[in-house]
Amino acid sequence: MVAETNYQSICSITELAKKLGLSRARFYQLQHTGIFPPPVYCILTKRPFCPMDLQERCLEIRKTGIGNNGRPIIFYSKRSSMPSKPQNNPGQKYKELAETLNQMELNVTAIKIEKAVKVLRPETLEQPFIDGTIIRDLFRHFKHGV
């Protein structure tokens, strides 16, 4: 939930859902079950909006966990997304290779590995992944000078 206390005189459902840390669909789902009070509708446009008192009430419901209908509600926190590995970042590949080779008791840097890969297997620069043959060839190169 975003800790915003600066209320607007009116806001859209999308803005209120963001303040609550919910998707708009989830907000409507909870509003339909009575957890959140219904929004106010403009007579001319029939568009829903939330005045300041409604915003305060919804944020209070989110904070206390007691819905507008008096029923308890548990709001789960958002899932943390796992950071994805950069796909075509050669610098990251060389760092990973350096870590792997250093665990194999070789003292090499990512810069040395980059130079060796350019000489030994230049075609691997285009590959988005590291396979075992690259590690084997680099190990032989640094360990035995092959």
Tell me: the pLDDT tens digits for 87-102?
556 577 788 888 888 8
Q: Give dist(CA 113, CA 116) in Å, integer.
A: 5
Q: Give dist(CA 25, CA 28) in Å, integer.
A: 5
Q: Residue 138's Cα: distance from chain center in Å?
A: 34
84 assigned to some structural domain: no
What does the pLDDT look like over 61-118, one tens digit per residue? 999 999 999 999 988 876 665 555 445 565 777 888 888 888 888 888 888 888 888 8
Kindly indicate the confidence band of residue 2, based on its pLDDT and cuts at 50, 70 and 90.
very low
116 assigned to some structural domain: yes
Q: Which of 64, 79, 110 is the endpoint of a domain?
A: 64
DSSP-derived letter for residue 66 is B
Q: Give dist(CA 1, CA 22) in Å, integer.
A: 8
132 assigned to some structural domain: yes
59 assigned to some structural domain: yes
- CB-based burial of residue 131 (10 Å sphere; 0-12 exposed, 13-18 middle, 19+ buried)? exposed
Of residues 16 and 123, more confidence is placed in 16
State the residue range of the domain holding 60: 10-64
Residues 56 and 102 in one domain: no
Least confident of 6-10, 11-15, 128-132: 128-132
- Average pLDDT on 130-137 reads 79
Domains held by the chain: number: 2
